[in-house]
Amino acid sequence: MNRNNTCVLVLAAGKGTRMNSSTPKPLQKILETPALDFILDVVQGLETFVVSSEEIENYLLSSNKKVSIIKQDNDGYGTGYAVLSSLKYIKSFKRVLIIQADDPLIEKDDINLLMNDDKNKVLYLNYEERYKNCSELVVKKGLLKEIKGKSCDKSKFINIGRYILNIDDLIDAGKEYLKSYKEGEYSLPDIINIMIKRGRKVFAEKSISSFLNMNTRKELYEVNRLMQERINLRHISNGVLLSSLESIIIGKDVEIASDTKIIGPTQIYGKTTIGKKCIINSSYIENSMIEEETSILFSVINNAIINDRVIIGPFAHLRPQSYIGAKSVIGNFVEIKNANIGNACKARHLSYLGDVDIGTGSNIGCGSITANYDGKNKHHTGIGSNCFIGCNSTLVAPIVIEDNCFIAAGSTITEDVKSESLAIGRARQVNKEHRAKDYLKKE
């Protein structure tokens, strides 16, 4: 079939009052991603129209989604009203694929099933207890005969709101529906019933992907759980070892190569990529790139790039714009921000490295920091290759320490250090005999 003749209509203007939230249903988070994004992903490549409220419109514009926005007015409500008020925008197409914006579990297999021929279709699932509030489909020999009202009671077929319909048939039935409409919610199922009564064939096929209403917080929790399981199983089938389906949460856009192990309560979100043979243990990672054979333990990584065979943690914090070179070690309670750390560097414990470039093979001693902020502005520190920064050193930016330098422990360095120099920036020790006894004596 010609996909150019088919458009997508996403119904996203509902208020979702049962969610008890100021956030509209389509923007409720599934694995830290708005539910609407999952739907837009599965229809990617098709001309898509989103019937939206003002808040949904603002989100679509701010995130640069490639969709056409149909702003719904306040003259009516319900799925029927959303579709009828959209017909003037989509009438140049032959068919319309209709999806509810609170249906993030729909998958591309269902899209292909709906679009594999030129028939009017509705998808169904067999009755389960969790579908008890869905409407009932009366189906005979694969043809839909009627969509009944809510509260389906153990019907063989339940309506999950996934349709593809001929637009001319919709326009014709819509005109007839408006003649008999009196008040209340405009109903798309009622319009489809009129199509059937007017002799239009609507076929019913079983949905391939799972479905769950997302009307309440409890249902939102369950959708999160089902999506989490779906994504985790996909990574397992691609060769990733997960220690648990329950305690590991992976976002929809995360890419993980084979033979990587994810252990313990770990969360990975955003546009994160992880290479082969890594070990990620009990950490939080977001929008980062991690190369092969890297180990991360009990750490937080956000907008960072980590090269091959790096060791991170435990309890390290890599903030945005952190770059860690190959074979480096970032250890206990080390915080890094806007930093370029060269290959084979070591900062094993209790350091802060912000707004800094560090060359290859340098060692940052315990408790050393770059003092990058003067109360008004941030300043840069440069540390060359093969430098040794002694424990508890403070490097007051802006400052440059050239290659092969040695900074004595406990130093405060405020001036540039030339290559191959030893820098000592501390007061001479003075011992006052017998002073401690009187000072420590209790009053």
**Strand, coil or helix: what is 19?**
helix
277 near 260, Cβ under 8 Å? Answer: yes
Q: Which helix (H) or strand (E) holds 217?
A: helix 217-237
Residue in the block written with tokens 């068919």: 95
Of 235, 349, 379, 380, the active-site residue reads: 349
Would you call 349 a catalytic residue per the annotation? yes
Q: Are 279 and 295 in contact (CB under 8 A)?
A: yes
CB 68 within 8 A of CB 51: no
CA atoms within 13 A on the CB side of 435: 4
Nearest-10 crossing angle of helices 167-180, 188-197: 100
Torsion angle of C-alpha atoms 304, 306, 311, 313, degrees rounded to 10: 0
Q: Give yes or no for a contact between 83 and 191, defined as CB atoms under 8 angstroms apart.
A: yes
Q: Which residues contact 127 (CB under 8 A, 6 or more apart)?
A: 152, 154, 155, 156, 157, 158
Q: Round to whole Å and give the CA distance between 278 and 345.
A: 19
CB 353 within 8 A of CB 364: yes
Contacts (Cβ under 8 Å, ≥6 apart) of 99? 8, 9, 10, 11, 39, 43, 106, 161, 162
Q: What is the set of active-site residues?
A: 349
